[in-house]
Structure 1
Amino acid sequence: MNDGGNFHIGDAVTQIGGSGNTGIYKNQASAADPQAAFRDMIQAIQVMRGQVSAEDRQVIDDSLQTIGNGANADPGTMRRALTAIAGVATMVGQVGVPVVEAVRRVMALFGG
């Protein structure tokens, strides 16, 4: 990227507030690979899970149990569980952004 004569190659990371932030979520799923997108979404959810309240963790855990590995989940049930996770991600702010994006990608790939 060219920024006024300066060149940057690689990841650019901005941390917005918070404490105990660890790791970085990087989306590496192919647009055509629903299972890879699902795995990346689960990874993003796990990163976020460690930074939310106990109540939000319970919503996440219940939703993850509902969707399992995504293979045999009823589409309506999966959509409701992913919507619950995306709701938590939206409410927690910047740390939830990768989860919201990953959920949208999975829902589109799985026909939701």
Structure 2
Amino acid sequence: MSGDSVMQWGDHNIGIVKSEGAISPQAALEQLVGAALQLRERVSASECAVIDSSVEALRAGGDQDPGRLRRALASIAGVAALVGDVGVPVVGAANRLMEAAGLR
């Protein structure tokens, strides 16, 4: 059996709230950059270059073309996906940033 077992009594119960809530684009960017920099220590030099250029593009942010930002996110997530389990936090952070920035 999987899932939550919940018992509630009384009026005006809302149940279990499981969402983490909305995250600001800036907070999502900081999470991604932190995760990417940790991943950088575990990948090859060519993959480091991809991470570095992508982080630079994301940090520039601002008035950039949304397509450029999406490509930077896809590049970081691509490297993270290729390295396996150690890249999972980066993929999750990239997805959160895409969501927070309205790119999805």
Common fold: TM-score over 0.5: yes
Name whichever structure is richer in helix by fraction.
2
Match of 1:105 in 2: 96
> TM-score normalized by structure 1?
0.69
Match of 1:51 in 2: 42
Q: Structure 2 stretches of 5 or more lacking a match?
A: 1-19
Q: Whose relative contact order is higher, 1 or 2, with alpha carbons under 8 Å and at least 6 apart? A: 2
Using the TM superposition, name which of 66-75 and 101-110 deviates more. 66-75
> TM-score normalized by structure 2?
0.73
Match of 2:79 in 1: 88
Alignment of 1:19-98 (within 5 A): 31-98=22-89
CA-CA distance at 1:68 after TM superposition? 2.1
Letter in 2 for 1:82: L
Cα distance in 1 between the residues matched to 2:34 and 2:60? 12
Q: Structure 1 stretches of 5 or more lacking a match?
A: 1-28
| Count of residue correspondences | 84
Q: Which runs of 4+ in 1 moved over 4 A?
A: none
CA-CA distance at 1:31 after TM superposition? 2.5
CA-CA distance at 1:63 after TM superposition? 1.2
